[in-house]
Amino acid sequence: MPELPEVETVRRGLVSAMESATIVRAEVNRPDLRWPFPENMADRLTGQKVLQLRRRSKYILADLGSGETALIHLGMSGRMLVSGDPLGRFVHAHPAPQKHDHVVLHMDNGARVTFNDPRRFGAMDLFPTESGEAHRLLAALGPEPFGNRFDDAYLVSRLSERKTPMKAALLDQKTVAGLGNIYVCEALFRAGIHPARQARRLSRKRLASLVPIIREVLQDAIDAGGSSLRDFRQADGELGYFQHSFDVYGREGAPCRTPGCTATIRRIVQSGRSTFYCPACQR
């Protein structure tokens, strides 16, 4: 499932096509994806200006002129693809409709934004913008990793008494929003923390060190356009490239990249998910 860097990459790719543009026609080609679409979604989207595109955790949020916000969740295989040229530099023909084009937004700047999702694990919803933080998918989320609330004092207070393994603690979306399996593995490697180590067994200094490391890992991934594993594509259809920079994720049996380390990357299973780490560098 796309994590924060992939979702942020898609959001940025949609800005030129959607932000400050009006949806002149919305096509909704089926009644549901993971959950049923909201009632009259096509009519509620049609004619609305997109005031702002935001991201909260792994969700894209489009604030509309109607006072509603459209929530988009990519799920396992969802893609938001842009065709046409909203900047007016070239002439591009729109591709022919595809079987899994479930929602299509025709913008007044000539762009077409398509939500394509072969496995239908994605979702869309509409809700009043002013009450957005109370939405069932957003209400329990922890702070954003790049936000001011996510600081040393917060993370130490949140984790210092927990018996939970560090991998599970950071995957908890109530602790910090948007982190998933890939970037937790990478952050723990950079911090030199074993993924099975109980959070309460770490010093306050080591817990605090995770804040800048998490931000660094996420920013590196965003700069690389995210990680393309299986289905992820950017809004222009291109692949992300951060997977070529993984230090541990997916590298079981490969040599550790830390200079002077002679260990190889190992894999264990935690809560049904693969965890990758270096047994020498992570304690």
Set out the domains of the chain in order of their start, with CATH numbers. 4-134 (3.20.190.10), 152-277 (1.10.8.50)
Each of the 283 residues of the chain gets a pLDDT tens digit; together they read 688 998 999 999 899 999 999 999 999 999 999 999 999 999 999 999 999 999 999 999 999 999 999 999 999 889 998 888 665 555 567 888 889 999 999 999 999 999 999 999 999 999 999 999 999 999 999 999 999 999 999 999 999 999 999 999 999 999 999 999 999 999 999 999 999 999 999 999 999 999 999 999 999 989 887 654 444 444 555 544 455 579 999 999 999 999 999 999 999 999 999 999 999 999 9
What pLDDT score does 199 carry?
A: 98
What's the pLDDT score for residue 227? Answer: 55
Torsions phi, psi for 107 (to 5 deg): -95, 155
- The DSSP output letter for 97 is P
CB neighbourhood size of 65 (10 A): 12
Distance CA 183, CA 8 (A): 14
pLDDT for residue 87: 58
Task: Identify any residues that bridge with 72 across adjacent strands, giving them in sequence order.
Answer: 60, 124
Q: Residue 147's CB: how many other CB atoms inside 10 A?
A: 12
CA dihedral of residues 181, 235, 76, 50 (deg, nearest 10): 100
Listed in sequence order, the DSSP H helices in the chain are 4-18, 41-45, 152-159, 166-171, 181-191, 204-223
Of residues 11, 55, 56, 58, which has the active-site annotation?
A: 58
| Active-site choice (2, 86, 143, 145) | 2
25 Rama class: left (phi>0) / alpha (psi -120 to 50) / beta: beta
Kindly name the residue from 34, 197, 266, 273 that is annotated as catalytic.
273
Catalytic residue among 3, 6, 8, 68: 3
Give the residue carrying structure tokens 């998910």: 273
Instruction: List CB contacts of 57: < 8 A, sequence separation 6 or more.
Output: 4, 7, 138, 141, 144, 173, 177, 178
pLDDT at 94: 83
Distances (CA, A) of 263 to 278, 279, 282: 7, 7, 11
Report phi then psi at 256, rounded to 5: -65, 145
Residue 58 a catalytic site member: yes
pLDDT, residue 89, reads 54
The per-residue pLDDT for 232 is 40
Residue 30 designated active-site: no
Residue with tokens 């069932």: 136
Q: CB of 34 within 8 A of CB of 21?
A: no
Q: What is the pLDDT of residue 240?
A: 43
